[in-house]
Chain A
Amino acid sequence: MKLLLRAFVALLQRDLLLAFRHRGELVNPLLFFMIVVTLFPLGVNPEEALLRKIAPGVIWIAALLAGLFSLESMFRSDFDDGALEQIVLSPHPLPVLVLAKVLAHWLVSGLPMLLMAPLLALFLSMPAKAVWTLELTLLAGTPLLSLIGAIGVALTVGLRRGGVLLTLLVLPLYIPVLIFATNAVTAAGAGMPVAGQIYFLAALLALALTLAPLATAAALRISLG
């Protein structure tokens, strides 16, 4: 147990360190997140009432797409340099190690989006009450995106052009997250209770936390042959 914990922490530290060494790549999805949101007032209409109405959807869809960009990096470089094979061969249960990698991915991609969202909410003139709910949905929702996305990445990591395919596989599975999250934010903006939606997101997170690492581990073993 202690050994397993040590392996978990070691893998987490290694991934965070690697991410920190490639700071430039980390910033790109965030910039994408920001630019996509900026395009909407320009492309649709800068009218405040309309922006307030579409803000939850815009921010969440931008978050989904930005998340997709960074997903590939979860296993790609490890696959290329063979580190992934070593991880699979290690005596520790693979799902736990996968969880460490997903956590590292969330810390470097999901968490920054969480910090950036209030600024974008300001751009789209979202009411202050709704911003808190937006943060809450992102807190429960972005780990879900990383967990579900990990399955897709693990399935496509061996392919040369897995990028577009990954989008096809993963986006339909993201739909429940999108529905509950945007609903909660919209409801909060209208002053309605949001506990139901948040509970649903939390339940989905619990489900994904238990099942997704198993599926990811199985997919990794297949991809490595």
Chain B
Amino acid sequence: MWNAIALFFHKLASPKHFYRISGRWIPWLGGITMMLLLSGLYLGLFVAPPDYQQGESYRIIFVHVPSAWMSLFVYVFMAVLSAIHLIWNIKLAEVMARSSAALGASFTFLALATGSLWGKPMWGAWWVWDARLTSELILLFLYLGYMALVSAIEDSRAAARAGGVLILVGVVNVPIIHYSVEWWNTLHQGPTVTKFDKPSIHISMLIPLMLMALAFQCYYFTVVLMRARVELLDRERRSAWVQELFLNSRVP
């Protein structure tokens, strides 16, 4: 049993097999994403009742909360991949980490943008220095710093390793930054509206929220696999299996 799993991961780590296996996964993942997204949006936008305090505008949480979750998930996932890359020198982990960066930054940006759209009617301002908003903004800076560093180093091997170190340093810092910002905000006593305690969310809103969270997760894996495949083809363009693939000209 364990041997089979180990063999599977061993195979997955080789670019050739990864390319083949991921090619089979992508349509399925994409289909699941579509189904989750459509059902989540339908339940969230049409079925779930309006909130008694916030009216219809609360519905933005069905995009906002999943993207905020994903922004953190992708960063931690990148850190895990970078650790795998730095420790066992598995090239594929680094390709995945690199393909994740732009997606993670997009999720972070989406969380910030939807947050500020929601904030305008709720708080009366596009931006307040709320603790969570601020740490999300800093997370965006961390993503952008990673992308800037990786694109500035020409040698792709060195770029990958340097990016890996930076992500690992960042992931140690993310909780420190988060709690320091939270602490800073509570001392400064921000607008009290931001502090309304979390009401236990009703099941009719929880289900679409969870569906959307799963949809975002599946979307991420679909797109990151697609990006990783392209990156892999580019990196391995001189290897035999890529040449063979192109000669047979059945490149999807």
Bound pair (A, B): yes
Seen from chain A, the residues whose Cβ lies within 8 Å of a Cβ on chain B are: 151, 155-156, 158-159, 161-162, 165, 168-169, 171-173, 175-176, 179-180, 183, 200, 204, 211, 215, 218-219, 222-223, 225
Within the complex, the shortest CB–CB distance from B163 to chain A, in Å, comes to 9
Asked if B142 contacts A172 (CB within 8 A), the reply is yes
Interface of A is mostly: helix
Smallest CB gap from A224: residue in B:
B158
CB within 8 Å for A165 and B149 given contacts A176-B180, A179-B181 = yes
B180 proximity list for chain A (CB < 8 A) = 175-176, 179-180, 200
Q: Would A225 and B181 be within 8 Å (CB), given that A165-B148, A169-B145 are in contact?
A: no
With contact pairs A211-B172, A222-B165 given, residues A168 and B148 touching in the complex (Cβ less than 8 Å): yes
Q: How far is the CB of A56 from chain B (nearest CB, A)?
A: 13
Q: Measured between C-beta atoms, what is the minimum distance from B222 to chain A in Å?
A: 29
* Interface residues in B124-175 (C-beta closer than 8 Å to A): 138, 141-142, 144-145, 148-149, 152-153, 155, 158, 161-162, 165-166, 168-170, 172-173
Excluding A180-B180, A223-B162, 20 further A-B contacts by CB distance (< 8 Å) are: A151-B165, A151-B166, A155-B165, A155-B166, A158-B153, A168-B141, A168-B144, A169-B148, A169-B166, A172-B141, A172-B142, A173-B169, A176-B173, A179-B180, A215-B165, A218-B165, A219-B165, A222-B158, A225-B155, A225-B158
With A175-B181, A204-B176 known to touch, is A215 a contact of B168 (CB < 8 Å)?
A: yes
Centre residue among B148, B177, B180, B181 by max chain A CB count within 10 A: B180
Instruction: Tell whether B73 is near chain A: CB-to-CB under 8 Å.
Output: no
Q: Say whether chain B's binding surface is mostly helix, strand, loop, or mixed.
A: helix
Give the number of residues in B that approach A within 8 Å (Cβ atoms): 28
Nearest-CB distance from A109 to chain B (Å)? 21
Within 8 Å of chain A (Cβ to Cβ): is B187? yes
Which residues from A are CB-within-8-Å of B172?
211
- The answer to the question of B183 belonging to the interface, with a C-beta cut-off of 8 Å to chain A, is yes
B184 at the interface (CB under 8 A from A): yes
| The 8 A-B residue pairs with the shortest CB-CB distance in the complex, in nearest-first order | A176-B180, A172-B141, A222-B161, A179-B184, A169-B145, A168-B145, A179-B180, A155-B162
Q: Which residue of B lies closest to A187 (CB)?
A: B187
The reply to whether B138 and A215 contact each other, CB–CB distance below 8 Å, is no
